[in-house]
Amino acid sequence: MDIKCELVPEDSRKPIPQPDELGFGIHFTDHMFVMDYKDDKGWINARIIPYSPFTLDPAAVCLHYGQAIFEGLKAYKGIDGKIRFFRPMENMKRLNRSAWRMCMPQINEKDLLDAIKKLVDIERRWVPEAKGTALYIRPFMIATEPFLGVRPAKEYILSVILTPVGAYYKEGFNPVKIFVTDKYVRAAVGGVGEAKAAGNYAASLMASEEAKEKGFTQVLWLDAKERKYVEEVGTMNIFFVLDGEVVTPELTGSILSGITRDSVIRLSKDWGYKVSERRISIDEVIEAAKSGKLNECFGTGTAAVISPVGFLYYKDQGYKINGGKTGPLAQRLFDELTGIQYGEKPDPYGWVEFLE
């Protein structure tokens, strides 16, 4: 792919935030990648330009009918100074799966990854150094055709923006408190829950705002039909250790197919755990919590990494998990994954790609 570059003069570039100012998704780098799609031409005008607002027609389809998808991956500065990506091709593939589900055009996965590497290369100085920080990469696609009516748009923009980040939750790696909702649902089987569609996140806001008001970090969703089976947290997939068995909900179409989720399954199996991707009812989780068999609970995600859950609240009752502390498997997974991502540990699975 031929990418035109228009760079901000060095002396006009933004100051880099201090490590303690990073937060998540607050600061954006000097440049962004953009390309356009037209039905009769395919993807055109690939460019890296100064970070700037888009001009959108008020009738742009994304504003009315929600054709908008995204991805999230990170570039890590290793202890050897090298910049690493973690399984980035999986994000490219998932972007295409989301695009397919939302009737949006496919991208060339390798070309997009090359474009991302080029952008990160230009923005090298923005990759933070401290462990636990990273440069979060946000590729996204929106429908831009000016048109009112419900059919797939014929014009799109694909863009990539970059933001240096610290921990996603204010708790960092400390256990979070999760509210299990049976009032709202996030996604139904047959819907778009497994796509990284912007609307899925809008649909989750009401429940998470209510949960935050009550002092919880996030919401655990149940299935839309019976409100009985555990699905995911919305910002992360969920895992339980039940009497030694590692259990995570199977991918039914309403759950995001997390890349960290997949990595955790692989690691846990290789460490000798029995790992089951299966339906798991909230009643089974609560029973296990009551009988002392719920050894651990944790979430997984690119933003969340491994996020231990210390407390679950369901039907007016709270349950402390592992004494409210990080469990041994969550700790080991966190150490292993971040060890691979920051170059402190070997990468036996070939999960890392380097920025040359």
* Residues lying near ligand COI in the complex (CB under 6 A): 72, 235, 301-303
Find all residues with CB under 8 Å of 133, minimum gap 6, and list them: 19, 22, 164, 165, 166
Least distance in Å: CB of 163 to ligand COI?
Answer: 10
Which tokens go with 60?
């742009």
Residues 6+ apart with CB under 8 A from 14: 27, 29, 30
Q: Which is nearer to ligand COI, 235 or 268 (CB)?
A: 235
How far apart are the C-alpha atoms of 53 and 224, rounded to whole Å? 37
Report the alpha-carbon distance of residue 149 to residue 305 in Å, rounded: 40
Backbone angles phi, psi at 197, to 5 degrees: -95, 135
Q: Rounded to the nearest whole angstrom, what is the least distance from the CB of residue 72 to ligand COI in the complex?
A: 2
Q: Which is nearer to ligand COI, 72 or 327 (CB)?
A: 72
CB 12, min distance to ligand COI, A: 29
Q: How far is 260 from 351, CA to CA, in rounded Å?
A: 11
When the beta carbons of 119 and 289 are compared against ligand COI, the nearer one is 119
Q: Which is nearer to ligand COI, 67 or 218 (CB)?
A: 218
Give the span between the Cα atoms of 24 and 38, in whole angstroms: 33
Q: Rounded to the nearest whole angstrom, what is the least distance from the CB of residue 30 to ligand COI in the complex?
A: 22
DSSP-assigned states of every residue in 240-270 = EEETTEEEE----SSS---HHHHHHHHHHHH
144 versus 200: smaller Cβ distance to ligand COI: 200
Q: How far is the CB of 302 from ligand COI (least distance, A)?
A: 4
Closest residue to bound ligand COI by CB: 72
Closer CB to ligand COI, residue 48 or residue 134? Answer: 134
Give me the least distance between CB of 300 and ligand COI, in Å please: 9
Assigned token pair, 178: 């999760």
Tell me which residue has tokens 């990595």: 263
Q: Per-residue DSSP letters for 35-104?
A: EEEETTTEEEEEEEEES-PPP--TTBHHHHH--EEE--EEEEE-TTS-EEEESHHHHHHHHHHHHHHTT-
Closest distance of CB 132 from ligand COI, Å: 15
Shortest distance, position 247 Cβ to ligand COI, whole Å: 21
Report the residue number, 303 or 340, with the smaller CB distance to ligand COI.
303
Cβ closer to ligand COI: 254 or 322?
Answer: 254
Q: State the nearest-atom distance from the C-beta of 208 to ligand COI, in Å.
A: 10
Max Cα–Cα distance, the chain, nearest Å: 63
Picking from 114, 109, 115, the residue whose alpha carbon sits closest to that of residue 95 is 109
The DSSP bridge partners found for residue 241 are 246, 296
Is the Cβ of residue 98 or residue 302 nearer to ligand COI in the bound state? 302
